[in-house]
Structure 1
């Protein structure tokens, strides 16, 4: 089954996933009635099935930004075992990362209770047994990650977004890296500048149809 999101649109306004979800997907308890559905998602040679619902990010399809991130983020290296999906939604990043790298430990984090429940079920449905799910406050602050994958929740506002990214990027292990996808119309270039000002090494891995995939290294990491 073809995925209607196969070609990222040139403008995020053309992508329903880029718009605020009913009930705000970044709230712990979305104030919108549940409307469960099942969608097919093709990523490379993987043909997966996911349960989604209203009140979570992009409930009708895999959004263009996440698709690009999954396509362009470098594969996990042999030493990259501790992986974080920050803002997991219904779990496409966590499940694909887990299936691609069975030896990795993939942690999916979200504030949205509906999203967390969906990710648990979708990991089981797609047999991604190395995926676990947690609320942000359930994660040990001392835990370090070799890789962070994230389609950031831009709609929470700049200050909240900066706080979120600062908290989790500071949990990168030495030698770790994060891969973020953001559309330029939603502030990718200003976000990259802020990250660089904060002391991160930031590289743009790819730019396609306005979406940027950024690679971010820990503060103080040597330039590559």
Structure 2
């Protein structure tokens, strides 16, 4: 009985941990996270230097730069000097800030459903003097706005159907000769996502592997 009780306690503990993980995911997918907004200052390697940034609870990768984003920042090609860029699912803003620092004459649209993420991106842009970042919610983005470049660590854990809807909402907004770079973990379906994109994008568009590192793929989507 003691052994069975211990096994049941262990199972309950595992279930509780899984539920806690799902709750954390739900928070950063939510417009208004339930967790306390406790801000912390960290240093992040961006655009060839080290910059200060604020992070908080209820936002994706709330204590550090996550590995997938790090892979994208290291392997995506240098952005153009000018144009309209999109950071899709900006979190606390590392992708948007890298784009803004590398291309100060470009405008970087930083989109996220999470209001705390947008506020953090706004404060991190100000902290680093990046006046060319525009954080905003998806419904605040003008319907007619198109982009020369999209970078994203997309929210794979929202589920395949929601992810597909998200990508096919924004990828078609690429301008002619535009490109998108998405980072996706291999064991979470990066290769199958490439195959799916190849069937969904208009004729002449291309989706393929651009780079691989540390268990991630950087997927390139180009419009002719």
Asked if Structure 1 and Structure 2 have the same fold, meaning a TM-score greater than 0.5 normalized by the shorter chain, the answer is: yes
TM class, shorter-chain normalised?
A: 0.7 to 0.9
Shift of 1:33: 2.0
Shift of 1:202: 1.0
Contact 1:141/1:171 (8 A) holds in 2: no
Of residues 20, 36, 39, the one that matches 1:36 is 39
What's 1:208 paired with?
A: 213
Larger relative contact order, structure 1 or 2 (CA cutoff 8 Å, min sep 6): 1
Contact 2:149/2:180 (8 A) holds in 1: yes
Q: Which runs of 5+ in 2 are unaligned?
A: 1-20
Distance 1:70 1:113, change over 3 A: same
Contact 1:21/1:56 (8 A) holds in 2: no
Q: TM-score, normalised by structure 1?
A: 0.85
What's 2:27 paired with?
A: 24
Q: TM-score, normalised by structure 2?
A: 0.85
What's 1:3 paired with?
A: none
Alignment partner of 1:62: what SS? coil
Q: Distance in 1 between the 2:179 and 2:162 partners?
A: 21
Of residues 24-33 and 154-163 in structure 1, the stretch that sits farther from structure 2 once superposed is 24-33
Shift of 1:138: 0.7
Distance 1:205 1:20, change over 3 A: farther
> Is the helix fraction higher in 1 or 2?
2
Shift of 1:165: 0.5
Please, what is the CA RMSD of the aligned residues? 1.4
Q: Distance in 1 between the 2:136 and 2:188 partners?
A: 27
What's 1:165 paired with?
A: 167
Q: Distance in 2 between the 1:47 and 1:203 partners?
A: 31
What's 1:139 paired with?
A: 141
Q: Distance in 1 between the 2:104 and 2:209 partners?
A: 27
Q: Which runs of 5+ in 1 are unaligned?
A: 1-18
